[in-house]
Amino acid sequence: MPINNKDNNEVATKNKRLAVVLGLISLTIYVGYILAYYF
């Protein structure tokens, strides 16, 4: 997998950014549900 050129680095950054966003959405739902019922 060629990762040394600029294009692929850009894709890798996009992948990581999307993963963080989706992970945060998932975590928010998890914590949100518990807090919503707790309070």
Partner 1 sequence: MSEAVLNGVEHQHDHHPTGIKRWLFTTNHKDIGTLYLCFSLLMFFIGGAMALVIRAELFSPGIQYVDPQFFNSMTTMHALIMVFGVVMPGTVGFANWMLPMMIGAPDMALPRMNNWSFWILPFAFTLLLMTLLLPGGGPAGGWTMYPPLMLQTEHALPFVIFAVHFMGVSSVMGAINIVATILNMRAPGMKLLDMPLFVWTWLVTAFLLIGSIPVLAGAVTMLLTDKFFGTSFFDAAGGGDPVLFQHVFWFFGHPEVYILILPAFGVVSQIIPTFARKPLFGYVSMVYATCSIALLSFIVWAHHMFTVGMPLAAELFFMYATMSIAVPTGVKIFNWIATMWRGEMTFETPMLFAVAFVILFTIGGFSGLMLGIAPVDFQYHDTYFVVAHFHYVLVSGAIFSMMAGAYYWLPKWTGYMYDEKLGKLHFWLSVVSVNLLFFPQHFLGLAGMPRRIPDYSTQFSEWNAISSVGGFVFGFSQLILVWVIIKSARGHGEKATAQVWEGANGLEWTLSSPPPYHSFEVPPKISRS
DSSP H stretches of helix in 1-39? 6-38
Decide if 3 contacts 9 (C-beta within 8 A): yes
Q: Applying CB under 8 A, which of residues 1, 5, 6, 39 lies at the interface with partner 1?
A: 1
Positions in 7-36 near partner 1 (CB under 8 A): 11, 14-16, 18-19, 22-23, 25-27, 29-31, 33-34
Q: Which residues bind partner 1 (CB under 8 A)?
A: 1-2, 11, 14-16, 18-19, 22-23, 25-27, 29-31, 33-34, 37-38
